[in-house]
Amino acid sequence: MAEKGKNSQKNVPDGKDEHKGEQLDLIDVAPENAKPIIKAARIYKSLQLKRISALNEEVKQKHRVLELVKAAKLQPLENGRIQFECDGVVVTVTPRDELIKIKDKTDEAV
């Protein structure tokens, strides 16, 4: 029989920890207010998907504005920005950083 001590085998399974490390089945236990939580979570997920879609469209339009401003070959101001106003809308573009600022003066009057 093996003597316990320095030379004994370590980590020998003894049957007690045979399920250790396994994922247990999920139990269908929910809080009392689970239905409002799920409703709010679904609304959140829907809004999140709309936001992501809107962000993708915003990126496309930003590139379109940059392309059109570049094609117009406008002279930059001393600070390097390109700025112009048309129909009450002020468009400012910082080419190096590809920043666009749109200020609609008609929105301010409302």
Measured CA to CA, the distance from residue 44 to residue 12 in angstroms comes to 49
Domain presence at residue 25: no
* Segment 21-65, tens digit of pLDDT: 776 676 777 888 989 999 999 999 999 999 999 999 999 999 999
105 within 8 A of 90, measured Cβ to Cβ:
yes
Q: Model-level pTM? A: 0.58
Domain presence at residue 57: yes
Domain presence at residue 101: yes
Name, in order, each residue with C-beta under 8 angstroms of 80's C-beta and a sequence gap of 6 or more: 94, 95, 96
Residue-range definition of the domain harbouring residue 52? 34-108
Domain presence at residue 26: no
Number of folded domains in the chain? 1
Find the helix or strand (DSSP H, E) in which 101 lies. Answer: strand 99-104
Domain presence at residue 6: no
Domain presence at residue 73: yes
